[in-house]
């Protein structure tokens, strides 16, 4: 059995890395994102919270984060 080692150390660009993972993988829980990114739960939760406070994500009816991209003005 493979041992999973998670990176718990927060970095300044965590929210942007998390947003990019949502762009690639679609709506997801922070638990799924922590697996995708190899992060601990606190780190993933803090990045998700930062995105929510900034208005960049909302939660769908399944409780998964959905990234809101700003649409360019036409």
Tell whether the model's pLDDT for residue 73 goes beyond 90: no
Look up residue 19 and give its DSSP letter.
H
For 6-52, the pLDDT digits (tens) are: 888 999 999 999 999 999 999 999 899 999 999 999 999 999 999 99
pLDDT at 46: 95
CA dist 1 → 4, 13, 39 (Å)? 9, 32, 19
pTM of the entire predicted model: 0.87
Domain ranges of the chain: 14-67
Q: Check: CATH 1.10.10.10 for 14-67?
A: yes
């Amino acid at each position: 059995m493979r041992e999973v080692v998670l990176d718990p150390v927060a970095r300044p660009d965590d929210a942007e890395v998390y947003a990019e993972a949502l762009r690639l993988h679609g709506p997801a829980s922070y638990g799924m994102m922590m697996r995708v990114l190899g992060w601990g739960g606190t780190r993933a939760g803090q990045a998700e919270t930062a995105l929510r406070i900034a208005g960049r994500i909302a939660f769908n009816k399944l409780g998964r984060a959905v990234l809101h991209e700003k649409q360019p003005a036409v």
